[in-house]
Structure 1
């Protein structure tokens, strides 16, 4: 009886792990799609579309060189101020360095961005907290830092 209990418990653990792995692949694909949407919107010069990947809330946090900015609207305004023209936006590319689940609804992403522009290229790293809100993955916190 003891062996049967151990076997059943072991099977339950293996099946649970396999189910979790499948869920993580689905989540990874959805989050990768979200980040691709960001890149595509940026490269099209569409900041409003770019911002659709962020949580439209006063609780959104963006941390950059000037410290934290709170709120979706203020974050959009800062992007528009920093990148007022298509030339200043340039073209961006992301490289995801790490993506890990914090819990069932929250993912932590570390990545690198490269911004190619005629006026001078920029590059750096970012950390994102992405959360599933009402069935949709959205960035709730973004910390982006440029290289010196």
Structure 2
């Protein structure tokens, strides 16, 4: 996830997406409902964050990691963006699987906080 922060903060959405399983079975659940597939998730990120100004500076704060099996883990935390005009933030729960020796996100449930 640290590499995802670095990529995001450089304006590199494709680099950020390297943290996800590149598969049609990737599940991302956000405010608009579920999205299946790596490419569709990438397209949604590009639509929602069309440039570096919209992307801002991302920070993750991991609150809890639960190892479910030798190749699966549950991660809960918060995210925040620092932008010129606002500072959106929210929470996430992630299911990681170890695939080909690398930990990848296979399920992402991210929400925005209204406070």
For the 8 Å contact 1:88–1:119, the answer to whether it is kept is no
Equivalent residues in 2 for 1:65-84, closer than 5 Å: 65-84=31-50
TM-score, normalised with respect to structure 1 = 0.76
TM-score, normalised with respect to structure 2 = 0.98
Query: How far does residue 38 in structure 1 lie from its aligned partner after superposition?
Result: 0.6
Displaced runs of 4 or more, over 6 A: none
Higher strand proportion? 2
Name structure 2 gaps, 5 residues minimum.
none
Equivalent residues in 2 for 1:51-90, closer than 5 Å: 51-90=17-56
Query: How far does residue 53 in structure 1 lie from its aligned partner after superposition?
Result: 0.7
Name structure 1 gaps, 5 residues minimum.
1-34
Who is 1:36 aligned against? 2
Higher helix proportion? 1
For the aligned residue pairs, the C-alpha RMSD in angstroms reads 0.5
